[in-house]
Amino acid sequence: EAGVTQFPSHSVIEKGQTVTLRCDPISGHDNLYWYRRVMGKEIKFLLHFVKESKQDESGMPNNRFLAERTGGTYSTLKVQPAELEDSGVYFCASSLNPGSAIEQFFGPGTRLTVL
Amino acid sequence: AQSVAQPEDQVNVAEGNPLTVKCTYSVSGNPYLFWYVQYPNRGLQFLLKYITGDNLVKGSYGFEAEFNKSQTSFHLKKPSALVSDSALYFCAVKAAGNKLTFGGGTRVLVKP
């Protein structure tokens, strides 16, 4: 079974540019999450999709961040325009969530560097 | 609001010795607790979880964790550490909603 995949693995952009990160969850997982780890600090929740609907977007830092999950399969996270403080590692995770199968499975992350 | 604390930034242990990585949490209601491990240049790997039941939970790679409600702790343990256990370990809690709240991570270095 393929795990959660993320693309690209690394992205280096200049301040003011736009970057789009992609996440493909484990097949059949309705729940998809975005997290990020900035400057070696805690991993912070960004948002949660159930299928194509945003269930919780309380962690989105500001309106420069836009997440979508059209069709309830893969998801994209767009940062526009990127700022220096957006640098960090962006993780995607997915889960089944029925009953006790609540663990989230994480992708390898996208390392974003904003210069 | 829920929170997780991992008081040690780094833990050093000799190969073959017991390994303990500490985690305490604060949450309203019953917590769901998790440990994840991140090896270099890899994503987070799920190790184990506590939902309910037996306070001692066994997970992958010989790791186990003990849930202690009175001390609000969920320490990760391994009886005999391997050099290959050197990695970054994260404790996390899920309470209301589905989002995970993570601790700051503990780097484990197992020396031969």
Q: Is the pLDDT of residue B69 over 70?
A: yes
Using an 8 Å CB-CB cutoff, list chain A residues near B51: 100, 102
Residue B34: closest C-alpha in chain A:
A103
Using an 8 Å CB-CB cutoff, list chain B residues near A35: 100, 102
What DSSP assignment string belongs to B34-81?
Answer: EEEEE-TTS-EEEEEEE-SS-SEEE-GGG-EEEEETTTTEEEEEESS-
pLDDT, position B43? 87
- Give the pLDDT confidence of A34-70 residue by residue, as tens digits: 999 998 788 999 999 999 999 999 999 999 999 999 8
Residue A48: closest C-alpha in chain B:
B99
CB B15 within 8 A of CB B112: yes
pLDDT, position B39? 92
CA–CA separation, A28 vs A105, rounded Å? 13
pLDDT, position B79? 96
* pLDDT, mean of residues A29-33: 93
Q: Is the pLDDT of residue A71 over 70?
A: yes
pLDDT, position A99? 58
CA distance A107 to chain B (A): 5
Nearest-by-Cβ selection for A56 from B34, B92, B97: B97
Does the beta-carbon distance from B105 to A42 stay under 8 Å? yes
- Give the pLDDT confidence of A94-104 residue by residue, as tens digits: 998 755 568 89
pLDDT, position A70? 86
Does the beta-carbon distance from A91 to B44 stay under 8 Å? yes
- Band (pLDDT 50/70/90 cuts) for residue A1 is low
- Band (pLDDT 50/70/90 cuts) for residue B42 is confident
Which residue would you say has higher pLDDT here, A96 or B34?
B34
- Band (pLDDT 50/70/90 cuts) for residue A72 is confident
Residue B106 amino acid letter: T
pLDDT, position B1? 80
CA–CA separation, B94 vs B62, rounded Å? 23
Q: Is the pLDDT of residue B20 over 80?
A: yes
Residue A36 amino acid letter: R
pLDDT, position A98? 55
pLDDT, position B2? 87
pLDDT, position B17? 97
Q: Which of A56, A59, A55, A57 is nearest to A45 (CA)?
A: A59
